[in-house]
Amino acid sequence: MTSGRDPNVLRLLFASSHPGPTVTVTVLAAVIAAAVGHPFWLVVLVALTVVAGQLSIGLANDWIDADRDRAVGRSDKPVARGLIAVGTVRTAAFVTAAVAVVLSLFLGPVAAVAHLVLVAAGWAYDAGLKRTVWSVAPFVVAFGLLPVVAVSAGPGAQWPAWWAIATGAVFGVAIHCTNVLPDLVDDAATGVRGFPHRLGLRAAGIVAFGSLVVAAALVLGGQVLGGDPVQGVGVVLAVVGAIVVLGLAVAGVRLVLAGRASRTLFRLVIASSLVLVVELGLAGARLVA
């Protein structure tokens, strides 16, 4: 077992933190914060706060699921492979959670409460909601609150546009379903029957990529409709972005209908999120209600 004194412990902890989703969520928050005109120091603070919270959620997941991951031979989990002690991951989860709480307090009251609820939702999923039909709820709550954290940070406490919150919520559905689909068999063997498990591979996949299409439509509508729509090139970019996401969703549905539950499905959602990040960045002040 790896001890806390091992020079590789930070690398192993990062690998245990679900780095892909952690980085994606942090980038989303930072881009939204920058898009609404927050000063650089506040954008950095938002990013640091969100990454601390996401690290804690990912680490808690691997700590709590250590025995289950060992049982199914998860080779991608350092804890399951015995490369790092469960206690080390558990301690890191609590430390990063504490850092997230402290940093949240500097964001202002609205953003602080939103971020603390976001992190609590992630921990609730890790602690047991993942085994129930309500497993999707923490993702809807967390991703729906992410724009609130990024937009309302700072002394002004602005509120995001309703469509930005709705986009985050439906995007959470896509993230949850596609992240779980490759593990349906392993999860069933260890008693996990969340929302996607009950739907089954094809239905859950269609729900996931259907949610992506809804998210793209919300972002497109938020940019081209309303009192301050984008103009000229902005309209073209908004439409192109929506078409790209639609194409990625179609590719995902085809894989699902073919019964191919691989990590490619999750990567398609991540790629779509990057497109939506660019669109949100282009939306700028329109993100503010």
Residue 172 confidence class, pLDDT cut points 50, 70, 90: very high
Residue 231 confidence class, pLDDT cut points 50, 70, 90: confident
Separation of alpha carbons 130 and 195, rounded Å: 8
Residue 264 confidence class, pLDDT cut points 50, 70, 90: confident
Q: Determine which of 39-48, 50-59, 168-177 has the lowest per-residue pLDDT on average.
A: 168-177
In tens, the pLDDT along 148-170 reads: 999 999 887 788 888 889 989 99
Instruction: Give, in order, the Cα–Cα distances in Å from 115 to each of 53, 100, 105, 185, 200.
Output: 8, 9, 10, 33, 32
Q: What is the tally of helices (H) and strands (E) in the chain?
A: 13, 0
Nearest to 228 by CA among 159, 286, 282, 284: 286
What is the structure's pLDDT at 283?
A: 62
User: Does the pLDDT value for residue 104 go beyond 90?
Assistant: yes
Token representation of residue 239 = 């439409």
What is the structure's pLDDT at 184?
A: 73
User: Does the pLDDT value for residue 3 go beyond 50?
Assistant: no
Name the pTM for this structure: 0.87
Separation of alpha carbons 41 and 26, rounded Å: 15
